[in-house]
Structure 1
Amino acid sequence: MSVLDPLASTAASSLPRPPVPAHPTPLPTRTAADVRAALLARVEIALLDVREEAAFAEGHPLWAANLAASRLELDAWGRLPRRDVPIVVYDDGEGVATASARKLQSLGYTDVALLAGGLSAWREDGFELFRDLNVPSKAFGELLDARRRTPSLSAEEVHARLARRENLVVLDARRFDEYRTASLPGAISVPGGELVRRARDLAPDPSTTLVVHCAGRTRSLIGAQSLIDAGLPNPVFALRNGTIGWTLAGLPLASGQGRSHEDLPLGDLSAAREGATAFARRARVQRIDTAVVAEWLADPRRTTYRFDVRGSSEYARGHRPGFRHAPGGQLVQETDHFVPVRGARIVLADDDGIRAPVAAAWLAQMGWETAVLPPDHAAHTETGPDLPPQPLSPAVATVTPAQLARWRAEEADREHPDTVVVDVAPSITYIVRHIPGAWWSPRARLAEALRSVIPHARRVVLTGNLGVLPRFVAADLAAELAAEGRELLVLEGGTSAWYDAGLPIESANPRLAFPRDDRYRRPYEGAHHARDEIQAYLDWETGLLAQLDRDGTHFFRVLER
């Protein structure tokens, strides 16, 4: 793999972090008007919202990307591959923007500025703010529906057809884990990037009706339209409003289903390949070779992202050097996450000449300069899962799981133990499993938590899923705690090492120092749904079209029929 081991002491391709001057020069600023002008000029810019996900989802500019301050060291190098890309950082008064900008400088980024006045300045200038996550893709989906009128069926009609046992197949275009949580009864999991490739295997009779669904609208619409634009002969429909519409119709969803496109053998791909190629050609996707990729990567003025759009197991078995993993359907759905630099180039690869052209056709319509490489199995010389490049983690004091367990056993009956464990992993990871008695705190508020929320202890042990993030957190806090006469340690290997050592884990009794703001929960998630909230979510999705018109920075180009 070309990825650095974040805990390795020697890694030839890692870059040392330059020292931060004791008295750094003031950070430059760019105004909201400057940022908007760059977006309209279609020059490269990364507008970074460094708040936690929940705050970001409450309102942000269309092309802002959420790169939370709590994970900068882990995520920046992978998501911002060119170190001299223009970066503008902002918050909304939370006080994390300046420190994040400095941290980006310490990671080697040379063109980092603050958004003058923060998000409030964007708001006061009258520029549009968008709610929720993955908004560019969702807004594009609404424009697609308005322009193409993608065929759709209501929940009631699909339910009636299923009840009549019509010749109909339901395809869930989301990730497999989402499908497992709640899907239409009898649906088959076919993530969006696989639809064109597998539809003929799942419905070999061209008279079979295919209904594509997701939770809401975007992946249903893009998935159904992918099949239509790639020339599938079957009748194809999107389930209108997805599982939300199904729920609003009073119909039950199924959980724990396990039917997958991978259960069927792969058939003849020639028709799918021909349709995908024609679709990409209509979208004006470039077809390039490795020499052009090398030229693009050598261009100091442009950022080039490289993605392998196949499934994770295929990627792990072998992929092109330097290509990150991004399943095609999710890349189209979460483009703001995978490609935070607006104006960058995107190169896609697969091994069948289907998945990369289909994903590229959508990205091109969304205003990205997109190209595909022809399949070349001999080029798949790297193996293993996708791991982001990261700087070497700082040297910090550590403790083994065995020693921590001994301390906790010795202090079990004390009213005021000497040791407290604090988990700084993503909150969902903490909720799923954590060391019994461990607290959870967001990184940005950890110092505050240790002062006023978490019981005082002379020894603080930080943990996380694998123990990587806690090392960076500890480096920030070590001097402050040492001045207070407190010891700060990192659990070696994190909670995973604790679990692997056979030590107890729990998912109950969470101790949250602050509300879980690192993850935004959509109204349709979970087992119980308030009808007014999920209806409001649908209304928000359909309202994105008007916001696009007011914002004016999207450059979306929907293909004609």
Structure 2
Amino acid sequence: MANVNAPARRGSGVIRRALLERRETALVDVREEALFAQGHPLFAANIALSRLEIEVRARIPRLGTPITLYDNGAGLAVRAAERLMALGYTDVALLEDDLAGWRAAGGVLFSDVNSPSKAFGEWVEHQRHTPSLAAEQVKALLDRQAEVVVLDVRRFDEYQTMNIPGSISVPGAELVLRVRDLAPSPSTRIIVNCAGRTRSIIGAQSLVNAGIANPVFALRNGTIGWTLAGYALEQGQRRRYGPPDADGCRLAAEDARRVADRAGVKRTNMAELAQWLADESSTTYVFDVRAPEEYSAGHLPGARPVPGGQLVQETDHYACVRGARIVLVDNMGVRADMTASWLAQMNWRVWVLDGLTDDDFSQRGEWSPPLPALPPQRRVDAAILAGWLREADTRVLDFTGSAHYVDGHIPGAGWVLRSDLDRLAAAGALPPAQRYVVTCGTSLLAGYAVAELEQLTGKPVYVLNGGNAAWRAANLPLEQGETRLLSPRIDRYRRPYEGTDVPAPTMQAYLDWEFGLVAQLAEDGTHGFSVI
């Protein structure tokens, strides 16, 4: 007899039609990121089973959203469906025949992460022939002290990791707003760079689209190209843009509005937004695309902070429901208009929220993700745990990211993926104990593992108050390295453009992959991209 509570199956053809018709659909890969990066449909969102509860409500906010799950045979999708239905999602299905069915229906698998945005960047360059200079050309300009400014459009923390010597941090959506202050002479060459290609292309093309008079170029292949050419990078720099000039703000607003209008961006107001947010039949994302410090100082209640450049670069991470509305917030308008212009070209339905006043930015502080409620749990402070660990009957399980675990963890703690708990228990591979303490960075994720761990072990489970951050704050001892890995380190895909220790063949292979994305887009046929 069939299980009436078992999730339904949804065919790849249904998903593809929804994409082509711009109807709401969320295709979710519940594997860990390193496995997701090996191959996935273009518009699949990666929400790993191990982190499902703490991510899904922000990324798929409407409970009636059609959600289709797959795992490439990893045995995770059914468990993910059960959890989603328990959380109240009402239209949850498994991808029929999984990724094999997707390929059989004519779908293409894309590797790496943020594939829609990276493919779109290549599409833009292919269509608009965005001007660029090779690393050797830029180095020659800098060496002879030509009239040139290099603007790094990555996040500030990425810029601090490594940067082109002399460059200034100007995250992507800030470019049009800040460029006149940073290159006041129209004869100054402007070089836009990121670590690879996408943000360099989008940033340079943003300035071109806005009609900036200066000669504008992307640094071809970014810091990867710079490194492959044998040139050194700086580390730990703090050069940033300053407050914008009033006349520059006015001109930037005119430029950005003109670009947004050309791209078909729509306008909305607070009253209409309230109606959309109350509508249970459709999804509306509200993103504040200003700089993080501006958001913290005051923001629209309910808006999620995502600087505009990162929203274009990582759209699949923030807006997992293809076909949803996106509404952008910015008190100056420029960042929202430029970001919206790109999202519209990426075939999103996008609006800019107009008519805002200072009073609308009434909420202070950081953003908190919407989370499912947890039942009351046993909790323990770091000082008490330190005493317990001198006894033989307490074991700590750490659910933080594996890189953070390796960097420093509670002595004796085992690192584990939450999605791996049942396998480990069945194999007798969980370390025995009379009681367990679970932790992660703040113990947010760890709290969702308590009931499962108690059921699997039959032992009491405690949550470390404040997590590993509280342990560190108490100046308690730490252990480094891969000392007790209970699960494989597949929780994160190491980007080939991260850090300064990536092998040259890996960097070149990444560039080669990006060069091939335009052909993959044509083969897949679901993107709907357009370029103004």
TM superposition shift of 1:455: 3.6
Q: Is 2:491 the partner of 1:518?
A: yes
Cα distance in structure 1, aligned partners of 2:407 and 2:493:
17
Cα distance in structure 2, aligned partners of 1:251 and 1:471:
46
| Structure 1 residues 75-224: aligned runs within 5 Å | 75-224=55-204
Identity fraction in percent: 53
Q: Is 2:421 the partner of 1:446?
A: yes
Cα distance in structure 2, aligned partners of 1:529 and 1:233:
37
Counterpart of 1:477 in structure 2 is: 453
2:178–2:244 Cα contact (<8 Å) kept:
no
User: RMSD between aligned alpha carbons?
Assistant: 1.6
TM superposition shift of 1:298: 3.1
CA distances 1:108-156 after superposition (whole Å, capped 9, x unpaired) = 1111111112223223444200001111111111110011011100000
SS for the counterpart of 1:186 is coil
TM superposition shift of 1:542: 1.0
Q: Is 2:372 the partner of 1:378?
A: no
Q: Which moved more, 1:448-457 or 1:29-38?
A: 448-457
1:395–1:471 Cα contact (<8 Å) kept:
no
2:399–2:417 Cα contact (<8 Å) kept:
yes
- Amino acid aligned to 1:480: L
**Structure 1: gaps spanning 5 or more residues:** 1-22, 412-416
CA distances 1:144-197 after superposition (whole Å, capped 9, x unpaired) = 001101110000000000000001010110011111111111111111011111
Cα distance in structure 2, aligned partners of 1:549 and 1:356:
29
1:84–1:109 Cα contact (<8 Å) kept:
yes
Cα distance in structure 2, aligned partners of 1:320 and 1:35:
34
SS for the counterpart of 1:512 is coil
Counterpart of 2:444 in structure 1 is: 468
Q: Measured at CA, do residues 26 and 449 of structure 1 come closer, stay the same or move farther in structure 2, by a change above 3 Å?
A: closer
SS for the counterpart of 2:311 is helix
Cα distance in structure 2, aligned partners of 1:354 and 1:36:
34
Counterpart of 2:387 in structure 1 is: 406
Q: TM-score, normalised by structure 2?
A: 0.96
Cα distance in structure 2, aligned partners of 1:498 and 1:201:
45
Q: Measured at CA, do residues 499 and 533 of structure 1 come closer, stay the same or move farther in structure 2, by a change above 3 Å?
A: closer
TM superposition shift of 1:431: 2.9
Cα distance in structure 1, aligned partners of 2:50 and 2:375:
16
Q: Give the one of 357, 368, 390 matched to 1:387.
A: 368
Counterpart of 1:499 in structure 2 is: 472
SS for the counterpart of 1:421 is strand
2:406–2:482 Cα contact (<8 Å) kept:
no
Q: Which moved more, 1:50-59 or 1:428-437?
A: 428-437
- Amino acid aligned to 2:59: R
TM superposition shift of 1:42: 1.6
1:209–1:236 Cα contact (<8 Å) kept:
yes
- Amino acid aligned to 2:522: D
TM superposition shift of 1:460: 1.9
| Structure 1 residues 48-67: aligned runs within 5 Å | 48-67=28-47
Q: Is 2:216 the partner of 1:243?
A: no
Q: Is 2:503 the partner of 1:530?
A: yes
Counterpart of 2:21 in structure 1 is: 41
Cα distance in structure 2, aligned partners of 1:354 and 1:444:
42
**Structure 2: gaps spanning 5 or more residues:** none
Counterpart of 1:543 in structure 2 is: 516
Cα distance in structure 2, aligned partners of 1:472 and 1:509:
24
TM superposition shift of 1:345: 0.6
Cα distance in structure 2, aligned partners of 1:24 and 1:177:
49
TM superposition shift of 1:454: 4.9
Q: Is 2:341 the partner of 1:337?
A: no
Cα distance in structure 2, aligned partners of 1:245 and 1:165:
21
2:33–2:490 Cα contact (<8 Å) kept:
yes
CA distances 1:42-92 after superposition (whole Å, capped 9, x unpaired) = 210000111111111110000100011111111111111111011111111
Q: Which moved more, 1:320-329 or 1:499-508?
A: 499-508
CA distances 1:278-337 after superposition (whole Å, capped 9, x unpaired) = 110111101121122123223332211101101111111111121111100000000001
Counterpart of 1:225 in structure 2 is: 205
Cα distance in structure 1, aligned partners of 2:207 and 2:57:
35
1:393–1:468 Cα contact (<8 Å) kept:
no
- Amino acid aligned to 1:327: P
TM superposition shift of 1:452: 4.3
2:405–2:481 Cα contact (<8 Å) kept:
no
Counterpart of 2:299 in structure 1 is: 319
Counterpart of 2:328 in structure 1 is: 348
- Amino acid aligned to 1:381: S
Cα distance in structure 1, aligned partners of 2:84 and 2:121:
33
Q: Is 2:257 the partner of 1:277?
A: yes
- Amino acid aligned to 1:337: H
SS for the counterpart of 2:69 is strand
Q: Which moved more, 1:426-435 or 1:350-359?
A: 426-435
1:280–1:361 Cα contact (<8 Å) kept:
yes
SS for the counterpart of 2:389 is helix
1:174–1:189 Cα contact (<8 Å) kept:
yes
Q: TM-score, normalised by structure 1?
A: 0.91
Q: Is 2:281 the partner of 1:301?
A: yes
TM superposition shift of 1:368: 0.5
2:399–2:439 Cα contact (<8 Å) kept:
yes
Q: Give the one of 386, 389, 394 matched to 1:419.
A: 394
Cα distance in structure 2, aligned partners of 1:481 and 1:532:
45
Q: Is 2:406 the partner of 1:431?
A: yes
TM superposition shift of 1:245: 0.9
2:106–2:524 Cα contact (<8 Å) kept:
no
Q: Which moved more, 1:279-288 or 1:486-495?
A: 486-495
Counterpart of 1:487 in structure 2 is: 460
Cα distance in structure 2, aligned partners of 1:214 and 1:322:
30
- Amino acid aligned to 1:512: L
Cα distance in structure 1, aligned partners of 2:482 and 2:402:
13
Cα distance in structure 1, aligned partners of 2:263 and 2:461:
55
Q: Which moved more, 1:460-469 or 1:23-32?
A: 23-32
CA distances 1:237-280 after superposition (whole Å, capped 9, x unpaired) = 00001111111111111111111114x56553111111011110
TM superposition shift of 1:504: 2.3
Counterpart of 1:287 in structure 2 is: 267
2:60–2:320 Cα contact (<8 Å) kept:
yes
Cα distance in structure 2, aligned partners of 1:363 and 1:396:
42
1:439–1:454 Cα contact (<8 Å) kept:
no
- Amino acid aligned to 1:384: G
SS for the counterpart of 1:281 is helix
SS for the counterpart of 1:246 is helix
Cα distance in structure 1, aligned partners of 2:111 and 2:529:
19
Cα distance in structure 2, aligned partners of 1:267 and 1:204:
14
Q: Is 2:531 the partner of 1:555?
A: no
- Amino acid aligned to 2:84: L
